[in-house]
Amino acid sequence: MKIFKRILIAVAVLVILSQVPFAYRRYMIGQTADKIASDNTARRQIEDARFDEYHGAIHAHSAIGGHSNATFDELIAGANAAGTNFVVMTEHWSDAYDTSAMTLSGQHGNTLFVAGNEIDTADDDRMLMVPGSADAAGLRRLSTRDVAAKLHNEHRLALVTYPERFHSWRADIDGVEVFNLHTAAKNINRFTAFFDLLWSGSSYPELVFARSFSRPDENLAKFDSYAEADRATLFAGTDAHSNIGFYLLGDETGHKFFGVKLDPYERIFRIMQVHVLIPKGTPLTQDSLLAAISDGRVFVGMDALGDTSGFRFRFGDRSMGERASVAESNVLTVDLPLKSRVVLYKNGQKAAENAGADHYEFKADGPGVYRVEAYREGLGAAFEAMPWIMSNPIYLAPAP
Ligand SMILES: [Zn+2]
């Protein structure tokens, strides 16, 4: 045999061997996807006499604010296809024009868009301002505390994004983005993600991402210490830009050849959504949505691992985000659409843990800030490192 032929055969064998782990992972991810699909058909229906539930995304960008080439058409199509009830747009500011006035707002197909901004402050903090304003660019000259106070005077929400590099925790903020999907997706190993997406991407793209996520310990600790002193809303941001990918060839007009886009809107929206509770009979509008976010009637669901709709964390009749006195009841209840492991936190410390059920009752151990995290069971360790559900707190005060 000619040496050339031998080399060719050796290279072919190496290429085939290198793909064995990805083929195996495709098989395993396929098994997981089948289990999730069959679990979703057997979900428990949970009653709620007080609230209707909607789900959507907070923190999204288009080409209007830079860092993205995405069009409104792409955004609307992605949000509609993912079944997203709402998207809170947060365009970067521009000195030349009002990006919040130019971005998507109002109802488009099945999705309500709310126009906000992502802003910078003189303390080098980043926040989301909702709704947005023509002042967005100028806020970078004010301190974070002054920005938060100004936004409250104007009845706008001031939400912390990137808490890992936020400094001004004494400012009066409305919420903390404890998980940022864009950052998490960017940190995925692109080499293995490329082959995983080649093998599994057409069938299970959301799961390729979901298996790489882990619990945002530091951000949750920051949220917990803030919430212990002052009520705030825990949420996850999609930070969707539709701009992560890699391309072997492309031209100046943005045409891409032989490339993989890792984060199209529909995929990012399908991985994880923010679920909000709106009083029964009240329609989903910009006002009712922002009131729910402001009041903490919110939970974060990693719906790619199983539809989280119906999850409830309550104290008697009280909902997430509400204050109650310990005299009202002594039981915190958790209802889940699927059996899962639940961890109860009190003031940021693990207070109780239980598994194997879809309904739990925990005895409240005196006044404190209580929230829960739920984790899927039986999907394998890679899918259990990240909470399937993160609730907002219920705030228990001493008996009067
Ligand atoms: Zn952003």
Amino acid residing at 242: S
Domain membership flag for residue 137: yes
Number of residues that this document lists for the chain: 400
Q: How far is the CA of 172 from the centre of ligand 1 (A)?
A: 21
Q: How far is the CA of 60 from the centre of ligand 1 (A)?
A: 7
Q: How far is the CA of 269 from the centre of ligand 1 (A)?
A: 15
Q: How far is the CA of 348 from the centre of ligand 1 (A)?
A: 27
Q: How far is the CA of 153 from the centre of ligand 1 (A)?
A: 24
pTM: 0.92
Tell me the CA end-to-end span of the chain in Å, nearest whole number: 91
Residue 96 belongs to domain with CATH number = 3.20.20.140
Q: The domain containing residue 168 runs over which residues? A: 51-304
The dihedral formed by the CA atoms of 67, 70, 76 and 77, expressed in degrees to the nearest 10? -140
Asked if 126 and 141 count as a contact pair (C-beta separation under 8 A), the reply is no
> Per the structure, how many domains does the chain have?
1
Asked if 326 and 396 count as a contact pair (C-beta separation under 8 A), the reply is yes
Per-residue pLDDT in tens (0 to 9) along the chain, 400 residues? 688 899 999 988 888 888 888 788 788 888 899 999 999 999 999 999 999 999 999 999 998 877 777 889 999 999 999 999 999 999 999 999 999 999 999 999 999 999 999 999 999 999 999 999 999 999 999 999 999 999 999 999 999 999 999 999 999 999 999 999 888 877 777 777 777 777 776 667 788 888 889 999 999 999 999 999 999 999 999 887 766 554 444 444 444 444 556 678 888 899 999 999 999 999 999 999 999 999 999 999 999 999 999 999 999 999 999 999 999 988 999 999 999 999 999 999 999 999 999 999 999 999 999 999 999 999 988 899 999 999 999 999 998 8
Cα 240 to Cα 84, 181, 237, 292, 298: the distances in Å are 13, 8, 8, 22, 20
Cα 152 from Cα 137, distance rounded (Å): 18
Domain membership flag for residue 281: yes
Q: How far is the CA of 119 from the centre of ligand 1 (A)?
A: 9
Cα 275 from Cα 55, distance rounded (Å): 4
Q: How far is the CA of 375 from the centre of ligand 1 (A)?
A: 27
Cα 206 from Cα 209, distance rounded (Å): 5
Domain membership flag for residue 164: yes
Domain membership flag for residue 358: no
Q: How far is the CA of 272 from the centre of ligand 1 (A)?
A: 16
Domain membership flag for residue 6: no
Domain membership flag for residue 17: no
Q: How far is the CA of 239 from the centre of ligand 1 (A)?
A: 5
